[in-house]
Amino acid sequence: MRAHSFLPLLALGRAIQGAALDGIRGVSPRDVLTSNALQASGHIDDLRGKVESRDLCLPCATYMRGLQAALLAGDTAFIWSLKKLCEVLTHFDDDVCDGWVGLEAPSVAAAARAMGDFSRGAQTFCSNFWSTCGYPAVEPWNITFPSPKPAGGRPEPSRKMPPLKVVHYSDIHVDPLYTPGAKTNCTKPTCCRFERGLSLFPQSPYTNDDAPGSNTSPAGPNGEHTCDTPLSLEASMYEAINAVASDAAFALFTGDIVDDTTWETTQAYNTASTPARRYDADSAPVKHAYGVMKQKLKRVYATAGTHEAHPVNLFQPSDIGNDTQWLYGLLAQEWSPWLDPAAEAQVNNFGAYSTKYPFGNLRDVENQLEWLIKELDGAERAGENVYMIGHSPNGEPDTFWDPSHYLDQIFNRYSATIAAMFFGHTQLDQFEISYLDYAARNASNAFLTSYIAPSLAPTTGMPSFRVYSVDPETFGVLDVTTYVADMTNPAYQQTGPVWEKYYSAKEAYGPAVDPPLTDPLAELTPAFWHNLTEAFDQDQKLFDEYVARKSRGWNVTSCDGDCKKAELCQLRAGRSEDNCYDPLTDKTPYKHVDQYDVSFSVTAHTLRALANSEGGLDKLKEVVEEAKKNVTAAAK
């Protein structure tokens, strides 16, 4: 079995800036800051003509010109303006706006400057940051493969030997500064912290009201739903894994280590020695997490999450700069015990690797798609079965359409070689199905399943991990068993988390599909998962059980009508253009998030709020003028 880990091709620097080069520039944005100015100068009619000829939306061009005009004031004034707008228009505290926008805005500014008003990059930016337009249609590109797709499909389970166990966990979001007794219902995106007296945070956003003994909602020692993962919960998960799957062949970790206080993280906080209480010399989040994995688990195949980067979500491609190289170097070092030297070198280059279980060689890499094709083609010729692991699923709403479409072509071509794909990111118990024909999605053309693991972090449900039963020859997935620590159990805070089997996919869903699937050695094929979505569509009770399991029984809400249609569409979306998410009508890519959506860009929240407010461009102009005065005064 060969394992492939790849970074999502979704990072702002790569996806936005790369797309920005395809456009043409329209009229200069200078002095075009408000809708009144645009109308008075006749630019609206000019824009309409260009929109009609390029199938792009008018609001996008209007707001992009306003944004580019604001950039003429300079980066300092632009960043100050976005911070101010964040404070006025969003629910975030001022310090959160200050930190997050300060980290994100320079990249947003660089991307916006590179875009023409009518470029595909601009429309992609508008759909993700402004929500003023739908996504642009995928740029046609039929990928060339070194060999034709062979006849036949995936091999049948061997049934010769007992199944293997494979562990899958994700989105651990360990908070080394979690403080028992600290306030659980704070105003920040994540709570249960009190950082006073730490040199890393000389101006902590957490106040005396958050301190232990000073609040009426004190955090328990083992985690709360409004907080990230304490060290005690992290340790208990590995104890539980070894209790139920000590004989596992290996584990898959699909990323996101760093906690959700990403508005105040630094590269030093993520990676270097951290002078904080309860810390030793190697206890910064990334180093700490992998150190524990090495101690507790035999072999882990891991991928980078969006939170490991600093600033969060930003992975800079090498043709723009080397701001992410520190992370690739660190991951190469931390993953080295589980990889061969060639794979370690490729991690250091761009964060992806290919390795055999137990070990193997890696071929040369040029770029991610060519590298992936080369690896999969080699695996096909060698008769190997492949697991693909990544952080962000290919069909999720925050996955850009173009790279998702191109990756789907590759997955389709090598569908007989790829046994399954494994992801995290959503923090929910989910799956996605890839199809040969998305216009006619059915069991006969379902060709690949993505297994999306629920999180250890309790912010979206009960802490969880999975154990797969796997055919030892084909590596087909025979069953998926989810384990949880029930936070409503009184023992959870008193004596520690109690981990128990939550459900088996085959036991819970096998009898409900048509035809039923209960044979313990039969594979959960993509056709099985599609048939399950058909059963969900017909059986509301069965669907309600699935919805409850997404959050592992926590904060369960009803989902019918349009909600159910959207969920079924998402399950049948192995590529993002087919997930039915509409940026014009859906407030957030993740409808399940009732609390702060800390994985989403705060700058995007701000620009979206600006676009939805009355007289948004006038507000932008006013704030920019105020920023220019403040910057000038500060310079004096």
**Exposure letters 196-230 (e unless 16+ CB within 10 A, then b):** eeeebbeebbbeeebbeeebeebbbbbbbbbbbbb
544 within some domain: yes
> Does 1 fall in a domain?
no
Among 595, 516, 602, which residue's Cα sits nearest to residue 554? Answer: 595
Residue 585 lies in a domain: no
Length of the chain: 636
Q: What is the CATH number of the domain that holds 322?
A: 3.60.21
4 in a structural domain: no
Q: Does residue 156 fall inside a structural domain?
A: no
**Are residues 261 and 189 both part of a single domain?**
no
Q: How confident is the model at residue 203 (pLDDT cuts 50, 70, 90)?
A: low
Query: Are 410 and 434 in a shared domain?
Result: yes
CA angle 570, 583, 13 (to 5 degrees): 95
pLDDT in tens, 313-343: 888 777 777 888 888 888 888 988 988 787 7
Question: Are 342 and 206 members of one domain?
Answer: no
Q: Is residue 607 domain-shared with residue 554, that is, in the same domain?
A: no
Token pair, residue 369, equals 């798609």
Same domain? 515 vs 427: yes
Looking at the structure, tell me whether residues 406 and 488 fall in a common domain.
Answer: yes
The candidate with the shortest Cα–Cα distance to 430, out of 418, 420, 438, 422, is 422
The string of pLDDT tens digits covering residues 18-77 is 332 232 222 222 222 333 333 333 333 444 444 444 445 777 888 888 888 889 999 999
Annotation: binding site for Zn(2+): 171, 173, 256, 391, 425
Say yes or no: 298 and 359 in one domain: yes
- In which residue are the tokens 């992806």 written? 352
Residue 429 has pLDDT above 90, yes or no: yes
| Phi, psi of 287, rounded to the nearest 5 degrees | -65, -40
Q: Which of 286-300, 323-337, 389-403, 404-418 has the lowest mean pLDDT?
A: 323-337
Residues 480 and 567 both lie in one domain: yes
- Which pLDDT tens digit goes with each residue over 137-162? 898 989 999 999 999 899 999 998 99
Is 149 inside any structural domain?
no
Q: In terms of residue numbers, what domain contains 214?
A: 180-218
Dihedral pair phi/psi, residue 558, rounded to 5°: -70, 150
Domain check: are 476 and 563 in the same one? yes
CA distance 166 to 469: 7
Same domain, 446 and 507: yes
Numbered residues of the known binding site: 171, 173, 256, 391, 425
Write the CB contacts of 92 (distance below 8 Å, at least 6 apart in sequence): 86, 100, 189, 596, 602, 605
Q: How far is CA 212 from the centre of its chain?
A: 33
Task: Say how many C-beta atoms besides its own lie within 10 A of residue 424's C-beta.
Answer: 30
HEC-encoded secondary structure of 329-396: HHHHHHHHHHCCHHHHHHHHHHCCEEEECCCCCCCCCCCHHHHHHHHHHHHHHCCCCEEEECCCCCCC
Q: Are residues 209 and 226 in the same domain?
A: no
Is 178 within 8 Å of 261 (Cβ atoms)?
Answer: no
Same domain, 174 and 190: no
Domain assignment of residue 587, yes or no: no
Condensed to tens digits (0 to 9), the pLDDT of residues 591-634 reads 433 444 555 688 988 998 998 888 888 898 899 899 888 877 66
- pLDDT tier at 12, thresholds 50, 70, 90: very low
For residue 308, give both structure tokens. Answer: 């490991």
Q: Give me the number of domains the chain comprises.
A: 3
Q: CA-CA distance, 428 to 454, in Å (whole number)?
A: 4
355 forms beta bridges with 3
Helix (H, G, I), strand (E, B) or coil at 470: strand
**Does residue 501 contact residue 492 with C-beta atoms inside 8 Å?**
no
pTM of the model: 0.88
Strands (E) in 99-176, as ranges, are 164-169
Q: Is the pLDDT of residue 13 over 70?
A: no
- Has residue 636 got a pLDDT over 90? no
Give the pLDDT of residue 529.
99
Which among 183-197, 345-359, 560-574 has the top mean pLDDT? Answer: 560-574
**Does 152 fall in a domain?**
no
pLDDT tens, residue by residue, 452-502: 999 999 999 999 999 999 999 999 999 999 999 999 999 999 999 999 999
